[in-house]
């Protein structure tokens, strides 16, 4: 018998493999995104100067056929041969210690780095997503924070370099969207935690967990009544990915992604002590300048636009986070 002719379906060309560029892809959140994109079948190019990122976060990807790492400052001209479908701009220092030690670099990556990343997206006809921040709300006078709130920011304070770099970046992204028609997405990230955070980056989760594991006093600034809400990294990345691939009207406008479960710093310190089984006690130090009194996202827009809300409770997310810090501190 003559061989059967291939069906129409079998003759169709295979869909082209999507290509994603992730700036800051060796960082805490960027590296988690890279893992998700590779699992979805993307070819991924990471661009990172390692000023706050680490090759430890992507070492498990060495030799992966669809992964490429380029050590480069994103504020320099970005050239890549071939097609690019998605640009994910994650690059930026993002902790209080970074603001004090790297203020100029923080401003440059938010301005020049965003400009270069947008230029790459424009040249390739790619969709662009920027990770903005809840810090653009400053010390908010509206609570919980909704995307339409313009913020209360001290432009010349110690946190101003980060706040203003992200506010400028948002304005630049919208300018490219309106002027050049680039499909853009903006996510405003609220406090996030999980494995691959830097041990000494100055943020509250690494600070409290490291102190608790060493049975050292846990440092709470002020009286501890200031509030935060904590989203597990896996939940956050799921929300960001949904936003990038969302084709609904108004998807180009900012979206808060975070956990609306609010708690005081004293409550959080007690939770860390319980989760680690620590003998630590709480000590108080003066409140840093411009430290926000309240921080809680209104996620109604994320729910309606993306069908997203966080699923991982703090007690569950802390387990792998604490295990990661035990390993980094040599306590595993």
Q: How does pLDDT run along the chain (332 residues), one tens digit per residue?
A: 555 554 544 456 567 999 999 999 999 999 999 999 999 999 999 999 999 999 999 999 999 999 999 999 999 999 999 999 999 999 999 998 898 899 999 999 999 999 999 999 999 999 999 999 999 999 999 999 999 999 999 999 989 999 999 999 999 999 999 999 999 999 999 999 999 999 988 899 999 999 999 999 999 999 999 999 999 999 999 999 999 999 999 999 999 999 999 999 999 999 999 999 999 999 999 988 777 888 999 999 999 999 999 999 999 999 999 999 999 999 86
Taking each continuous run of H as one helix and of E as one strand, the counts in the chain are 11, 13
**C-alpha neighbours within 13 Å on the C-beta side of residue 17:** 14
Helix (H, G, I), strand (E, B) or coil at 254: coil
CATH 3.10.580.20 fits 18-196+230-260+295-312, yes or no: no
Which residue carries 């955070």 as its tokens? Answer: 197
Rounded Cα gap, residues 70 and 25, in angstroms: 10
What six digits make up the tokens of 260? 């609306």
pLDDT of residue 211: 95
**pLDDT value for 201:** 87
pLDDT at 207: 94
For residue 2, what pLDDT is reported? 52
pLDDT for position 106: 96
CA gap 11, 182 in Å, rounded: 33
pLDDT for residue 134: 95
User: Which candidate, 94, 97, 90, 57, places its Cα nearest to that of 74?
Assistant: 90
What's the angle, vertex CA 146, arms to CA 142 and CA 152, rounded to 5? Answer: 45
The token pair at 225 is 């009544």
- Which token pair is 131? 């990770």
Cβ atoms of 295 and 190 within 8 Å: the answer is yes
Catalytic positions, written as ranges: 162
Which residue reads 């995307």 in tokens? 147
Q: Which helix (H) or strand (E) holds 41?
A: none
- What predicted TM-score, i.e. pTM, was given to this entire model? 0.93
State whether residue 75 is helix, strand or coil.
coil
Could you count the other beta carbons within 10 Å of the beta carbon of residue 18? Answer: 16
How far does Cα 138 stand from its chain's mean position? 18
């Amino acid at each position: 018998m003559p061989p059967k002719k291939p069906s129409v379906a079998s003759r169709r060309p295979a869909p082209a493999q999507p290509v994603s560029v992730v700036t800051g892809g060796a960082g805490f959140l960027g590296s988690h995104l890279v893992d998700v994109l590779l699992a979805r079948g993307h070819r991924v190019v990471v661009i990172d100067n390692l000023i706050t990122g680490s090759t430890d976060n992507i070492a498990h990807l060495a030799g992966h056929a669809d992964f490429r790492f380029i050590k480069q400052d994103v504020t320099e001209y970005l050239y890549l041969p071939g097609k690019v479908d998605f640009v994910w701009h994650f690059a930026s220092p993002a902790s209080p210690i970074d603001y004090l030690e790297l203020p100029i670099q923080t401003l440059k990556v938010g301005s020049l780095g965003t400009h270069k990343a947008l230029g790459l997206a424009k040249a390739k006809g790619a969709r662009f997503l920027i990770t903005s921040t809840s810090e653009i709300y400053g010390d908010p006078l509206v609570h919980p924070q909704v995307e339409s709130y313009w913020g209360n920011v001290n432009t010349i304070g110690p946190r101003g370099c980060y706040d203003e770099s992200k506010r400028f970046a948002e304005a630049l992204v919208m300018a490219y969207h309106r002027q050049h028609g680039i499909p853009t997405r903006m996510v405003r990230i609220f406090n996030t935690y999980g494995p691959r955070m830097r041990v000494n980056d100055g943020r509250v989760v690494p600070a409290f967990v490291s102190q608790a594991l060493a049975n050292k006093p846990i440092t709470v600034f002020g009286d501890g009544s200031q509030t935060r809400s904590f989203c597990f990294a896996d939940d956050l990345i799921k929300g960001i990915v949904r936003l990038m691939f969302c084709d609904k009207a108004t998807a180009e406008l900012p979206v808060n992604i975070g956990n609306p479960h609010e708690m005081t710093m004293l409550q959080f310190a007690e939770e860390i002590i319980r989760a680690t089984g620590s003998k630590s006690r709480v000590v108080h130090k003066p409140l840093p300048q411009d430290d926000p009194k309240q921080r809680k996202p209104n996620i109604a827009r994320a729910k309606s636009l993306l069908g997203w809300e966080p699923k991982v409770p703090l007690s569950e997310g802390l387990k792998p986070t604490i295990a990661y810090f035990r390993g980094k501190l040599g306590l595993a």
